[in-house]
Amino acid sequence: MSEPVSSATSEPRRDTPQRRLVRDRLASSDSFASAQQLFDGLRSDGEKIGLATVYRTLQAMTDAGEVDTVRTDEGEAMYRMCGTAHHHHLICRDCGLTVEIEGPSVERWATQAAQDHGFTDVTHVVELFGRCASCSGH
């Protein structure tokens, strides 16, 4: 996984049954999931929802800032429900376990780097990838 994506807007969205299904499925996992994985899980639970609806719902939730999105090395978007405060992710390359982390030193570094180069209104996203304790046998 690589290349984080984010695009929060303040526009409120309707809370549809499909949106609740996708939100509940995302909330039940500690890992990022693709639209296809979410669709497959919902269908295996007997839910009548289309793949296009899952994609549209995820895009709306991303636009509303309800989910975080990262892209795999292959370019596939992966989604996860996250807290609303600024944070970063530590993501297991093997199982996808994701932990939200704070990085005060990263925040200071980003601010200083921007100032040093005359940049203003700077945002950043940091994603760390590795192997979790379970996958590395610890």
Structure tokens at 84: 């609303």
Question: Where residue 85 sits, what CATH number does that domain have?
Answer: 1.10.10.10
135 is annotated as contributing to ligand binding:
yes
Q: What is the pLDDT along the chain (138 residues), one digit of tens a residue?
A: 444 444 444 455 578 899 999 999 999 988 899 999 999 999 999 999 999 999 999 999 988 888 988 888 788 999 988 777 777 888 888 888 888 888 788 888 888 999 999 999 888 877 888 999 999 987
Cα Rg of the chain (Å, integer): 16
Query: Which H/E stretch holds residue 18?
Result: helix 17-27
Tell me if 125 sits within 8 A of 6, measured CB to CB.
yes
Number of domains in the chain: 1
82 is annotated as contributing to ligand binding:
no
**What is the residue range of 71's domain?**
2-136
Model pTM greater than 0.75? no
87 is annotated as contributing to ligand binding:
no
124 is annotated as contributing to ligand binding:
yes
Query: Which H/E stretch holds residue 128?
Result: strand 127-130
Q: Of all residues in the chain, what percent are helix, strand and coil, respectively (each to 5)?
A: 35, 20, 40
